[in-house]
A and B are shown apart, each in its own frame.
Chain A
Amino acid sequence: MSLILISLTPFVGAIFTACISRLGRLHAAWTAGAVTLLTLALLFPLIADVFAGNTLIQQVSWIPMVGLDLAFRLDGLALLFALLILGIGLLIILYARYYLSERDDMGRFYTYLLLFMGSMLGIALSENVIQLLIFWELTSLSSFLLISYWQHRRESRRGARMALAVTGGGGLALLGGFLLLGNMVDSYNLSVILASGDIIRADPLYLPMLVLILLGAFTKSAQFPFHFWLPNAMAAPTPVSAYLHSATMVKAGVFLLARLFPALSGTEEWFWLVGITGLTTLLVAAYIAMFKHDLKGLLAYSTISHLGLITLLFGIGTPLAAVAGVFHIINHAIFKASLFMAAGIIDHETGTRDMRRLSGLWKFMPYTALLAMVAAASMAGVPLFNGFLSKEMFFAETLHNLDQTWGWLLPTAATLAGVFAVAYSLRLILGVFFGAAPVDLPKTPHEPPRWMKIPVEILVALCLLVGILPALTVEPILAIAASSVLQGPLPEHNLAIWHGFNTALWMSMIALVGGTLLYLGRRPLFKLYDRQWRSLEFRNLYNYLLGKLYKFSTSVTRIIDAGSLQRMIFVFILFILALGINGFLSGELLLTGQREGLAIDGVSLLVALIMVSATIATVIFHRQRLVALILMGAVGLGVALIFVKFSAPDLALTQLSVEVVTIMLLLLALYFLPQTSPIESSKLLRSRDWIISIVAGSGVTALTWAVLTRPHQSIADYFLANSVTGGGGTNVVNVILVDFRGYDTLGEITVLAIAGLGIYAMLDHLQLTGSSHDDKGRRWNHDTHPVILASFARLLLPIALIVAMFILLRGHNLPGGGFIAGLITAVALVMQYLANGVVWTQKRLPANVHSVIGYGLLIAVVTGLASWLFNYPFLTSTFSHIHWPIIGEFELASAMPFDLGVYLVVVGATSLILINLGLVHSNSPRANFRKQPRKWKH
């Protein structure tokens, strides 16, 4: 279970962080740090096992019918990623604590960050690919939240939306790919997939599957031509960029390549698709990076380029190239995180990231400059720094095909990319830290706070340690990670700084010298770039396509939705009619079935007559709204009588109380609305409406008749037989509600609660003036609170509450229950408002009914959860009979607190709606009734 626990810890921690951040600004940072440390601590005991070469797989059944298990996997690669995600995450948390300003909501930031961390960890630790995809999409969503953290900025919102659109689209493709893949090997588990490489590669659907999966990986890893979202995501706060674009988000794509390497690689298609994409990305992005004036923009394109390098390495497909790929994942995470953090420090302390304005910062912040230099040297691939080692392995791996005609192309391109990398690294350092003293900066630059530098120092120290002593530092973790990528023996490799004068070293030399020369001669190139490259921005294409899509969907919507509800309902009913008529014509032709009917008695006939005439009268008088409403109330009571007649006492009680509440509600609303409806539709239109209504009504009559005259089979016997033994109650309807189908009821009271709160939100700040006269000029009333009504209402309250309690308690065995009791209570409470007025009632009744809804839901859920304590599924009920002195035999059922929860939600929601609707009147003294919303503390 521990791997599940590890993956869930950040999510739970995120909720906890969100809650605790209300206590103070910095609490969120500490909590997030503690959660990350806890996750690391949970991971720690498993590390030794993985280093011993074992793969931990833990799974729980989830939906076994379709092959879905919650399955987690910890092998070398997963461990490497988990350490990167958590380790760098911890540093980012520390860094962000100092980076975020007073105005930024720390709670929100750290909550999002932990959500993202959990999603990333989920990707790394997933054994089941569908589950991996869920976490994959979660990273898209949580990165959307992180990138758009500064919601008030337009570019943040746009950048976040772009990232979500591109990576989300890729996720969709990935889902398709995974489904195909799972189909090929008949399992969604990685252990099976990784062992079935030959089956997969021989499958006729290999190519479409590969393309779909690669689309997912390439969009996530910002590979050309999907790279454009990454520079736009730089609108995020720098800690986010440092996290997402060094160790996590974009690495998810290359992680996927590494993860599925044994299953997918080794074919021509793989080599060309992955190789070409990687190579193009490597070159193009490195080229663009040279010309970016924004510090983070340069780093963004450099990130894309390095991801291209890693992709290319996996594309080359040799075991040694895969080792180099994993190695570069580590190195890039380390130096790029530290560079982003350094860029953030510069931005933080000078107020700008524009390299045209920055220069000569060495004098002001020499220490930060030194740190940035080390990291940049690593990025450029200078010897003694970690980036050099993996880059040299990369250079060596490009030399395999030299004997072929175009074999020279790959090493040349690689060297050229190296030249670019050296040039942009040089520009970053020389442009920002050296040269003339800066003029006119928004802030006077100085060194950042001590603790803001610590994360950068740690990472820079790692750059050096790995660069100088690779075999002692990185080799063990690289070995286990690479061997789990290869799923086989590790190729001979030698992590050392000096391999003698070989071709790779010469390539490095050329890159260093060439990069320096390029930097020195950069001016004409800048001019060229400004003239030509701008138009090639893929962002414009994306915006163009997006604009087209918007236009298209708007035009389609206009065709379907003409903005007229009446017409849409008409079309809808016409459609339903067509379906119904089709059903009648294609089924049995006989309308009347074999079942014998019941005889009509006089009373029933009378009730039916009253109902039908009241219904028709409602329509006839529907322009006089009050009359129509009263008539409708009569129909509602008739419905309750029908329930009584046909053996549904619970329904009759519910209908009766709901009817009261509904009429009260509609009366209140009607008070504010116009009292009459004007004639608007033409005669023709009304006749059309009549015809379609009568046809539909006749259809319902025919259907009802056809159903009622046919025998039926029901699953009711099960409920009747098990109600007492299984649910402990003799009122089968109530037992179904709170026991057999308790889960549904929980959903329904949740809906009720949401509706109540939604109505409250709509009524907030709504003020209406109702007229004191009706449409004929008569006063509504002369006495707002008649004495007799007021006194009786007060007298009735305790009696009504006792009746409600009685109905609630007996509900399990006799007609009644939480729903009905709740409605009765709500009516009794609202009666006080009606009879005694707001001022009198508020003084005596607790005004805050929101919490009643909350407590109700809580009680219902906790009752359900309690069964977990006894190892039963959610909402399993239990009951027992105890003997109380004097009172006698008494039944205690766990369904009772559940019904209490139902009761409270119904009371809360119903009275919330009615009381607040009454308070909408502009004369209501609600200013002191409604509490001001609590301000969110920062």
Chain B
Amino acid sequence: MEALIAIILGSLTTCGIYLILRGRTFPVVLGLTFLSYAVNLFLLIMGRLTIGKPPILVAGVSDYADPLPQALVLTAIVIGFAMTAFVIVLSLKAYSELSNDHVDGKHKS
């Protein structure tokens, strides 16, 4: 299972980085989203993989998944959304002002 996660994270990162290296805003936003998937997953698995032990306390059970990375990731997801929204609106604004969607605001000839 660890290997699967490692491969998923690797492919998310690879594709995320390739996309943020593109020259148009929309793929860059997609790339950022991929990278935040990767980062969120990476943060979560810092508590190692645990199956069927959600950190909801139940009497008599003493073994739980690590709640701390989960709390970190929960807010990271929401903040990540805010960031994505900001960047995409920024690119909309740039598109309307510069009438092209190149990341540097200009067409490369």
> A residues near B, CB below 8 A?
563-566, 569-570, 573, 595, 597-600, 604-605, 608, 611-612, 615-616, 618-619, 622, 625, 628-629, 632, 635-636, 638-639, 642-643, 645-651, 654-655, 658, 661-662, 665-666, 669-670, 672-674, 677-678, 680-681, 689-690, 692-694, 696-698, 700-702, 704-705, 707-709, 712, 714-716, 719-720, 723-724, 730-733, 736-737, 741, 744-745, 748, 751-752, 755-756, 758-759, 762-763, 766-768, 813-815, 819, 823, 906, 909-910, 913, 917, 920
Would A639 and B40 count as touching, CB distance under 8 A? yes
Whether B55 contacts A712 by the Cβ 8 Å rule is no
Cβ of B65 to closest chain A Cβ, rounded Å: 4
Question: Which residues from B are CB-within-8-Å of A698?
Answer: 10, 14
**CB atoms of B18 and A693 under 8 A apart:** yes
Chain B residues, CB < 8 A from A616: 11, 15
From A646, A672, A681, A715, B50 is in contact (CB under 8 Å) with: A646
Chain B positions within 8 Å of A622 at CB level: 19, 22, 27, 30
User: Shortest Cβ distance from B101 into chain A, in angstroms?
Assistant: 6
Q: Are B6 and A665 in contact (CB under 8 A)?
A: no
Q: Is the CB of A694 within 8 A of B14?
A: yes
Check B44–A677 contact: CB distance below 8 A: no
Residue of B nearest to A710 (CB): B48
Of the residues A661, A719, A759, A819, contact of B75 by C-beta under 8 Å: A819
Distance A642 CA – B54 CA, assembled complex (angstroms): 13
Distance between B107 CB and nearest chain A CB, rounded to angstroms: 9
Given A694-B14, A708-B2, A815–B25 Cβ distance below 8 Å? no
Given A700-B9, A708-B48, A752-B78, CB of A677 within 8 Å of CB of B37? no
- A-B pairs, top 7 by smallest CB distance, nearest first, are A697-B14, A701-B10, A647-B65, A755-B82, A732-B67, A598-B1, A736-B71
B21 at the interface (CB under 8 A from A): yes
Contact A920 B85 (CB under 8 A): no
A689: chain B residues within 8 A (beta carbon): 17-18, 21
Given contacts A705-B6, A733-B67, contact A672 B92 (CB under 8 A): yes
Q: Taking CB as reference atom, which chain B residue is nearest A701? A: B10
Q: In the complex the two chains form, what is the Cα distance from A616 to B7 in whole Å?
A: 12
Cβ B89 vs Cβ A604 within 8 A: no
Across the interface, do A648 and B54 meet the contact criterion of CB distance under 8 Å? Answer: yes
Most chain A C-beta atoms within 10 Å of own C-beta, residue among B29, B70, B73: B70
Chain A nearest CB, measured from B91 CB (Å):
7
A649, B33: Cα distance in complex, Å: 21
Q: How far is the CA of A913 from the CA of B55 in the complex (A)?
A: 32
Contacts of B83 in A (CB 8 A): 755
B45 touches A708 (CB 8 A): yes
**Chain A residue at smallest Cβ distance from B83:** A755
Give A760's nearest chain B residue, CB to CB. B89
B26 neighbours in A (Cβ, 8 Å)? 625, 669-670, 673-674, 677
Chain B contacts for A597, CB-based, 8 A: 1-3
Contact A680:B17 (CB < 8 A) given known A600-B1, A698-B10: no
Question: A615 contacts B41, CB within 8 Å?
Answer: no
Q: A619-B18, A632-B33 are in contact. Are A599 and B78 (CB under 8 A)?
A: no
> For A917, what are the chain B residues with a Cβ–Cβ distance below 8 Å?
89, 92
- Checking A599, A714, A909 against B68 with a beta-carbon cut-off of 8 angstroms, the contacting residue is A714
Query: Interface size for chain B: under 10, 10 to 19, 20 to 34, or 35 or more residues?
Result: 35 or more
Contact with A along B78-89 (1 / 0, CB 8 A): 111111111011
Q: Name B41-81 residues within 8 Å CB distance of A.
A: 41-42, 44-58, 64-68, 70-71, 73-75, 77-81
Report chain B residues within 8 Å CB of A673: 25-26, 91-92, 95, 101
Kindly provide the distance from the CB of A675 to the nearest chain B CB, expressed in whole angstroms: 9
How far apart sit A636 and B84, CA to CA, in the bound complex (Å)? 14
**How far is B92's CA from A674's CA once the two chains are assembled, in angstroms?**
11
Cα separation A694 to B86 with both chains bound (whole Å): 28
- Of all chain A residues, the one with the shortest Cβ separation from B21 is A689
CB distance from B34 to the nearest CB of A (A): 7
Given A615-B15, A704-B45, 16 other A-B residues pairs in contact with their CB atoms under 8 A: A565-B28, A598-B1, A619-B15, A636-B33, A639-B40, A654-B74, A654-B78, A655-B40, A658-B78, A672-B96, A693-B13, A701-B6, A732-B56, A733-B70, A736-B67, A748-B78
Asked if A693 contacts B21 (CB within 8 A), the reply is: yes
Q: Are B71 and A737 in contact (CB under 8 A)?
A: yes
Distance (whole angstroms) from the CB of A623 to the closest CB of chain B:
8
Check: B90 CB closer than 8 A to any chain A CB: yes
**Given A712-B48, A730-B56, A759-B89 in contact, is the A697-B17 Cβ separation under 8 Å?**
yes
Give chain B nearest CB distance to A732 CB in angstroms: 4
Minimum CB–CB distance from A930 to chain B (whole Å) comes to 16
Report 15 cross-chain contacts, Cβ distance below 8 Å, ordered by A residue. Answer: A569-B21, A600-B4, A651-B73, A651-B74, A655-B40, A662-B84, A669-B89, A678-B24, A680-B24, A692-B17, A693-B17, A707-B46, A716-B64, A720-B67, A732-B57
With A619-B15, A696-B13, A700-B10 as contacts: A758 and B5 at CB distance below 8 Å: no
Among A604, A625, A654, A666, the residue within 8 A (CB) of B4 is A604
* B34 and A719 form a contact (CB under 8 A): no
- Residues of chain A within 8 A of B1, CB atoms compared: 597-600, 604
Q: Please judge, given known A-B contacts A651-B77, A654-B74, whether A697 and B22 are in contact too, CB under 8 Å.
A: no
Pick the contact of A720 from B5, B64, B82 — CB < 8 Å?
Answer: B64
Q: Is B8 an interface residue (CB 8 A)?
A: yes
Residues of B within 8 A of A619 (CB): 15, 18-19
A651 touches B67 (CB 8 A): no
- Chain A residues contacting B80 (CB-CB under 8 Å) are 658
Chain A contacts of B91 at CB under 8 A? 669, 673
The smallest C-beta distance from A57 to any residue of chain B, in angstroms, reads 43
Bound-complex Cα distance A573 to B30 (A): 17
Bound-state CA distance A638–B12 (Å) is 12
Expressed in whole angstroms, the Cα–Cα distance for A920 and B93 within the complex equals 10
Specify which of B5, B18, B28, B70 is in contact with A650 (CB 8 Å cutoff).
Answer: B70
Interface centre among B21, B56, B74, B95 (most CB of A within 10 A): B74
In whole angstroms, how far apart are the Cα atoms of A612 and B37 in the complex? 13
Contacts of A819 in B (CB 8 A): 74-75, 78
Q: In the complex, A741 Cα to B68 Cα: how many Å?
A: 10
| Residue in B29, B38, B66, B92 whose CB lies within 8 Å of A768 | B92
What are the residues of chain A within 8 A of B10 when measuring CB–CB? 697-698, 700-701, 704
Q: Is there contact, CB below 8 Å, between B81 and A658?
A: yes
CA distance A745 to B78 in the complex (A): 11
Contact assessment for A564 and B104 in the assembled complex, using a CB-CB cutoff below 8 Å: yes
Q: What is the CA–CA distance of A654 and B6 in the complex, to the nearest angstrom?
A: 22
> Distance (Å) between the CB of B94 and the closest chain A CB?
10
B residues less than 8 Å from A681 (CB atoms)? 22-23
Please, which residues of chain B bring their CB within 8 A of the CB of A767?
96
Which of B13, B33, B74, B78 interacts with A733 by CB under 8 Å? B74
Compute how far the CA of A819 lies from the CA of B74 in the bound complex, rounded to whole angstroms. 8
With A and B bound together, what is the CA distance between A489 and B107 in angstroms? 78
B37 touches A635 (CB 8 A): yes
Docked complex Cα distance between A495 and B24 (Å): 79
- A762, B34: Cβ atoms closer than 8 Å: no
A755 x B56 contact (CB < 8 A): no
| With known contacts A665-B88, A697-B14, A819-B78, A768–B96 Cβ distance under 8 A | yes
When distances are taken between beta carbons in the complex, the residues of chain A under 8 Å from B42 are: 700, 704
> How far, in Å, is B54 (CB) from chain A's closest CB?
5
Contacts of B34 in A (CB 8 A): 615, 618, 632, 635
Question: Contact: B68 with A570, CB < 8 Å?
Answer: no
| CB of B32 to closest CB in A, whole Å | 11
Determine which of A674, A732, A751 lies in contact with B55 in the assembled complex, contact meaning CB atoms within 8 Å.
A732
CA A689 to CA B15, docked complex, whole Å: 10
Task: List the B side residues contacting A737 at CB < 8 Å.
Answer: 71, 74-75
Residues of B within 8 A of A651 (CB): 40, 44, 70, 73-74, 77
Complex partner residue of A665 from B9, B47, B84, B108, CB under 8 angstroms? B84
In whole angstroms, how far apart are the Cα atoms of A649 and B52 in the complex? 10
B27 touches which one: A635, A677, A700, A702 (CB < 8 A)? A677
A762 touches B45 (CB 8 A): no
User: What residues of chain B lie closer than 8 Å to A736, measured between beta carbons?
Assistant: 67-68, 71
